[in-house]
Amino acid sequence: MSKVNAFFKRKDIEVSLKRYGIDALGAMAQGLFCTLLVGTILDTLGTQLGISFLAKPLIEIGETGYTIGKFASAMVGPAMAVAIGYALHAPAMVLFSLIPVGYATNVMGGAGGPLAVYVVAIVAAEFGKMVSKETKIDILVTPIVTILIGIGAAYFIAAPIGKGAMAVGTLIKWATTQQPFVMGVLVSVIVGIALTLPISSAAICAALSLSLIHI
């Protein structure tokens, strides 16, 4: 056990509520703000103020037109994964490898993708840190391990996590449609517990697939 603890300390792997519950979620919220929220703001400004270079699609991929805001919003998964890796003090090679992990996890997680990204990014980052600079071919080993562990984990757990998060989010949204008293009790209990924790409310809302506008 002492050898394991020494290895974890050398690799800066800290299994604690602060590292995973506060630092990682706080960083996840920053990744969310820098992509999804900023993208939404840019799209809204372009549409409401008639700013053509913001409202007009720059390119069409398939049948979908991508504005500057939509490009930003599309990167929410990678941004959150990298932000979480940064909060976990992941080295550069691990951080860069979290980009495809975050994208794949967010897609496989569906509406509850952000919560899946949160879980998978932590797992992938910590495994990546374990193997980082442990071999002479680190430039191959670290990204391969990080990507395989991350996307492999996402393949098995992203969809169930996404469905679970979406179910809670749906419950909260359903509660807002009930009678004022019932709505007040349900929403205050479910959301109130989350918001009193020392973690980002934006990250919680994203993880539960809740629209910030509705909240």
CA distance 209 to 194: 14
In a domain, 32, yes or no: yes
In a domain, 3, yes or no: no
DSSP 93: H
In a domain, 63, yes or no: yes
- Over residues 50-54, mean pLDDT: 91
pLDDT score for 63:
81
pLDDT confidence tier of residue 170, bands split at 50, 70 and 90: confident
- Sign of the torsion formed by the C-alpha atoms of 170, 175, 178 and 180: negative
**194 exposure class (CB count in 10 Å sphere: 0-12, 13-18, 19+):** middle
- Over residues 160-165, mean pLDDT: 81
77 with 117: CB under 8 angstroms? yes
In a domain, 212, yes or no: no
- Over residues 51-68, mean pLDDT: 89
In a domain, 4, yes or no: no
Helices (H), the chain: 2-10, 17, 24-32, 38-49, 52-55, 68-74, 76-87, 92-109, 113-131, 138-175, 180-195, 201-207
Specify the number of domains making up the chain: 1
Domain that holds residue 57: 13-207
Average pLDDT of the chain to the nearest whole number? 85
In a domain, 127, yes or no: yes
pLDDT score for 62:
81
pLDDT score for 196:
52
Tell me which H or E stretch contains 196.
Answer: none
Question: What digits encode the pLDDT tens for the residues 122-153?
Answer: 999 999 999 999 999 999 999 999 999 999 99
Residue among 164, 173, 67 nearest 113 (CA): 164
Q: How much is the pTM?
A: 0.82
In a domain, 149, yes or no: yes
pLDDT score for 103:
96
| Contact partners, residue 4, CB within 8 Å, separation at least 6 | none
Please determine, for residue 175, whether its predicted confidence score (pLDDT) is greater than 90.
no
In a domain, 53, yes or no: yes
pLDDT confidence tier of residue 104, bands split at 50, 70 and 90: very high
pLDDT score for 113:
83
